[in-house]
Structure formats: C-alpha cells, structure tokens
Amino acid sequence: MSEVSETLVQYRENGPVAVIELARPEKLNALTPSMLSALESIVAGLDASRDIRAVVLSARGKAFCVGADINVWSALEPLDMWREWVRNGHRIFDRLAHLRQPVVAAINGPALGGGLELAAAADIRVAEPGAVFGLPEASIATCPGWSGTQRLVRLIGPSQVKFMALTAQRIDAETAHRIGLVQKVVPAGAVLDEALALAECIADLAPVSAQLSKQLIDAAAGEGFAANMEGMAGALAATTLDAGEGLASFRERRKASYQGK
C-alpha cells in the first residue's frame, strides 16, 4: 500500500506494522468528512493486505481527537446528519473495529466524543498521563453518534458510560486504566513508542492465530458475532476433503460422495 501524503490522515508502514496518524493538530484532530473518507480508504487497503500484521492508530499534536468537527455537522440538515454523518461514521468505525489485524491506539491527549469512540474501535489502548476521556455531547444538546452508547458499553459497562454521557465529565488516564478503558499508562512522550512496541510484539506472533484470536474475543463480546463465526466456519469447512469432493463433483457434474473428512 502506498503512503497517503499531504492529507489530514497520514499512513506509513514500518515493516509489518502500519501507522495511521490523524494530522490536523491545529484543530485538535477534530474529524471532518474528508478525514473519515481517508480513514475508510486506508482501512479497506489494510483489510486486503497480506503483509501488515498490526496497526497503530496515533495522532499529531497535543490531542488524540476531540471528536467530530462541530462546524461541519452543525451545518447539516437533520436528515443529512443521519444519512451522511452518523451512518458514515458508524460504518467506518465498524470497519476499523472489524479489521483482521489487531489495532493499538496511542492516545497522546484528549479523546472526546467521536475521538473516544474512535479509540474504542481499537483493540488495545495506551495513554499518556495527560490524556482525558469524555462524552460531552449532552452539553451541546446532542448524543453520542458513533457507537459511544454501544461499543463503549461493551468495553467498560453501562454505569461508567452513563457517568460520562449523563454528566459530560471527563476521566483522567489513571481512572481510564483502572476501569479497563486503557491497558497501559506510559510516561509523557512515550505513548507512540509503546504502541509501536506492542504492535511489533503482535507482528512477531503467528499472524493467522493472532487474527483468529481477535475475532473469537470480539465474538464473545458481541462484536461482529455472525460474520466472525460464519467466516471461521467457512474457512474450516474449506480445509476438509469433503470440500475438495464437493468442488470436483460440481465441475464433473456428478453426485458428490462425502466421507465426513
């Protein structure tokens, strides 16, 4: 996959590890439609890649992501907000969450609203001490729109999500670590290095085993259950002698003779 350059979402490869970087630091990496489209394009390429084994999701500047750009979505008509903003964001974040490759988020600062929902789509989250997390939507008379009330509940439970969504209060990195939202808190300035080290650790493992383990764990949490189960069942069935017999009988236009092997 070639490098995506001069955009607000940057992409690069370090051997078997891919790095996605939000690159709009002057706006605290607030997400725009073009950024979402770039992210979707990168994720689609990763899903098709046989060379990338792990992914790091990072951000430039002092914030991870403060959510959707309010100047963009507040200008939309209600139906357009539903059709073009909420649905698109859900689809793109779901594609990220359902990547075969494990994703490590390097959270260098505030992860708020859609930024927290983006971080929640990763498999592992590492944060610096200055990172803060929140769902401030009710303070501006809206609601979490990109699975903050769904995927985040599966991660940390309904009570913790209610606390953030119903009070609009933020939690710090240590609290996020204590409740399981963040897996590690590292010294300031070290979060990207730590995320890369974890991704490289993942990349050293048997890739199919790591990817299948991710899918099994996701299925247990209710994330993409049907697709994960059917995908693995189909792959298992394809390895059997009966699968070869089925294809041969179809091509030879004869009745198959299955042996249960």
User: Which listed residue (117, 128, 194, 223) is catalytic?
Assistant: 117
> Could you give the C-alpha distances from 188 to 7, 56, 129, 194, in angstroms and in order?
26, 18, 6, 11
Structure token pair of residue 158 = 């309904």
Token readout for 72 is 């963009």
The answer to whether 174 is a known catalytic residue is no
128 HSE (CA, 13 A, CB side): 21
Alpha helices in 122-206 (DSSP H): 151-156, 158-167, 173-178, 191-203
**Of all helices (H) and strands (E), which one includes residue 218?**
helix 207-220
DSSP string computed for 94-137: HHHHT-SS-EEEEE-S-EETHHHHHHHTSSEEEE-TT-EEE--G
Q: Distance (Å, rounded) from C-alpha 105 to C-alpha 109? A: 12
User: Does the active-site annotation cover 117?
Assistant: yes
Closest CA to 210 of 79, 102, 83, 72: 102
Residues 192, 183, 223, CA angle at the centre, nearest 5°?
105
Out of 40, 137, 194, 223, the active site residue is 137
Residues marked active site are found at 117, 137
